[in-house]
Amino acid sequence: MEDLEPGSVEVAARLTGHREARREVRLEKGKTGLVALTLSPLPGTLVLKVTGPEKFLLASAEESWESPRELRLEPGEHRFLVRAPGFREKSVRTRLEAGGQTNLEIAMEKAPLPSLPSGAAPLAPSTPGIPSAPRIPPSLSLPRLPAELPQVRPPINPTRPSVPPRPTPRAPVPRAVLTPVPPPSTPPASVLTPVPPPRTVPRTVPQPLLTPVNR
């Protein structure tokens, strides 16, 4: 800058996306003045739109954020790692301009469920609140118990006297109530009916019949 009047001069520098820089310099007649100005860039704005999970974790090499929607970062290239439970981890890159706004859309994919190994049977649903019994592999066999188990008698302590069992009290037996039985009634005397004597029939001797015979 030439043709400037000597004295104090204020110099300002402006650039889009940067902070304004100002400095005052004193000029002397017939001499050249020198001033140095540094323009620092303004941070860029990153607007995030993540589809899939409601909550996620966004991490960079220096810092991490929980479910951010808008960030103000230094301009330049940035790399992020997005993580969410039940979804596949995703790595994204973006570039921010000084003082500008960048929109970034990230679509998360659900992670597949772990598959069972071949030959493994699916687990049966268990009743809520009751833990299911552990499955025993077929290769393991439990030892068989004998049919008759030996009887184990408790050891007798010789120092402690044995106490005889107390007799169990018996319930009192109710006494029988005797009811008087009336004497048998005398049967009435039989009435005798007189039988008439048998009648005597005169005995007759049969006589042969004589039949005359004609000669």
- For the chain, which domains are there? 1-40 (no CATH), 44-107 (2.60.40.10)
List Cβ neighbours of 194 (8 Å cut-off, separation of 6 or more).
Answer: none
Cβ atoms < 10 Å from Cβ of 50: 21
Give me the residues paired with residue 170 across strands: none
Q: State the Cα–Cα distance between residues 83 and 49, nearest whole angstrom.
A: 14
Nearest in space to 48 (alpha carbons), one of 96, 118, 116, 9: 96
* Residue the block writes with tokens 């808008």: 70
Res 69: pLDDT: 92
Res 9: pLDDT: 87
Contact 56, 83 (CB under 8 A): yes
Residue 105, amino acid = E
Dihedral sign, Cα of residue 104, residue 71, residue 57, residue 52: negative
Q: What does each of the 215 residues of the chain score in pLDDT, given as a tens digit? A: 778 888 888 989 999 888 899 998 888 888 888 889 999 999 999 999 999 999 999 999 889 999 999 999 999 999 999 999 999 999 999 999 998 999 999 999 999 887 656 655 555 555 555 555 556 555 555 566 565 656 656 555 555 555 666 767 676 666 655 666 666 565 555 555 666 666 655 565 555 555 666 65
Positions of E strands within the chain: 7-13, 21-27, 44-51, 57-59, 64-66, 70-73, 76-83, 90-96, 101-107
CA 57 vs. chain centroid, Å, equals 28
Q: Residue 161: how many CA atoms within 13 Å on its side-chain side? A: 3
Contact 79, 62 (CB under 8 A): no
Give me the residues paired with residue 48 across strands: 104
Give me the torsion for CA of 151, 157, 163, 164, rounded to 10°: 40
